[in-house]
Amino acid sequence: MSGSIYGTLFRISTWGESHGKGVGVTIDGCPSGISLCEEDVQKDLDKRKPGQSPFSTPRKEKDEVEILSGIFEGKTTGTPIAMIVRNTNQRSYDYTEISKIYRPGHTDYTYDQKYGFRDYRGGGRSSGRETTARVAAGAVAKKILSEIGIKITGYTSSIGPIKVNKDHFKEEEIWNNFLSMPDVEAVKLAEEYLTKLKEQGNSSGGSIECIVSGMPSGLGEPVFDKLDANLAKGLMSVGAVKAIEIGAGIEVATKTGIENNDFYQYQEDGRIIKESNNAGGIIGGISDGSDIFLKVYIKPTPSIEMTQRAVNKNGENVEINVEGRHDPIIVPRAVIVVEAMVALTLVDMLLINMSTKMDNVLKVYNKD
């Protein structure tokens, strides 16, 4: 299997399966001298781990990270950083009955067509558990971004028909509830909605918004490696993501030019600002220094207890009720995954961007 490596200079390689011995990541290209310990990574993993709410899978995993290499005396050494999170609560027998059935919404059929073989225990590499490794690597990337004042804030913006009211937005509430929503009233409505779906054996989709503040201008390449293109690739590589918007997103199709253009203004201190941010902080594939605004759309969990029509390997039409331990909604646990993929993309492009000007080269190698 190819395609488990992401990045150009700051590169990650994830490995492991949902019901294997563990999942992990190797980071290549991390600069030396960054303060890093397992606690820095663990705090992000704790936001993703299962079994923490009535609206996540009851699978119990501590998701404790172990850093195997690349750290000495509390700092990165510049060599590859290897991290592992061991699986401790697999129940592979839950999946025995579906080993020969192609479940709706899953990769069962496509994996069989591609490889002629599949790991049916929780989906193997296609399982959402693979994102554990991404979150671990993303925590390292966020440490780098924090050194230069870049902050990433992700949150659940909608669950089914329930949307966050921006007038009620409180950032401090994001990690104070099971749903990672910054609106207390929306949390109550969403919990009622999810409780009803869970009783029916059904699931829900939703959306995640992500804001990147403190961005420098000039980040991104103008053709194939546009900043927005690379962010979209990173986020669309998350299995549950089905669409992404940047800035005003699909609303630009209903705007006129005079409505969509972000007007510039000089400030008294010499800075250039924009009066609006329909571009979402990226123009022509290059960051303009304003906040980057992203919105990601997450599909409903495909594993549901309701009766679904399916087929099996014998060419027979069958009905299936998926048993096991599954999230009635993926969105809240995916918030930290979205943050991780944004962080990984930004760090990689920041390192690439250092070589675009001779002035930058001279700052590093000038002997004066």
Question: What's the angle, vertex CA 291, arms to CA 264 and CA 276, rounded to 5?
Answer: 35
pTM of this structure: 0.92
pLDDT (tens digit, 9 = 90+) per residue, 162-212?
999 999 999 999 999 999 999 999 999 999 999 999 999 999 999 999 999
Q: What is the pLDDT of residue 97?
A: 67
- Dist. CA 149–CA 145, nearest whole Å: 6
- Dist. CA 185–CA 196, nearest whole Å: 18
Give, in order, the Cα–Cα distances in Å from 100 to each of 73, 114, 314.
Answer: 50, 16, 8
Q: What is the pLDDT of residue 94?
A: 53
Q: Are 248 and 255 in contact (CB under 8 A)?
A: yes
Token duo for residue 350: 């920041």
Distance of CA 352 to the CA centre of its chain: 22
The lowest-confidence range among 100-109, 143-152, 209-218, 231-240 is 100-109
Domains of the chain (ranges plus CATH)?
A: 5-365 (3.60.150.10)
Nearest to 291 by CA among 158, 149, 172, 166: 149
* Buried b or exposed e, range 266-286, using 16+ CB within 10 angstroms: eeeeeeeebeebbbbbbbebb
Non-local CB neighbours of 250 within 8 Å, separated by 6+ positions: none
The lowest-confidence range among 33-47, 232-246, 261-275 is 261-275
Token duo for residue 144: 């780098």
Give, in order, the Cα–Cα distances in Å from 74 to each of 32, 36, 333.
Answer: 11, 6, 29
pLDDT (tens digit, 9 = 90+) per residue, 85-128?
998 865 554 556 677 888 888 888 888 888 887 777 666 677 88
Nearest to 209 by CA among 327, 339, 333: 339
* Buried b or exposed e, range 2-31, using 16+ CB within 10 angstroms: eeeebbebbbbbbbbbbbbebbbbbbbbbe
Residue in the block written with tokens 């293109």: 229
Q: What is the pLDDT of residue 114?
A: 84
Half-sphere exposure (Cβ direction) of 98: Cα atoms closer than 13 Å: 26
- Dist. CA 282–CA 219, nearest whole Å: 9
Q: Are 29 and 137 in contact (CB under 8 A)?
A: no
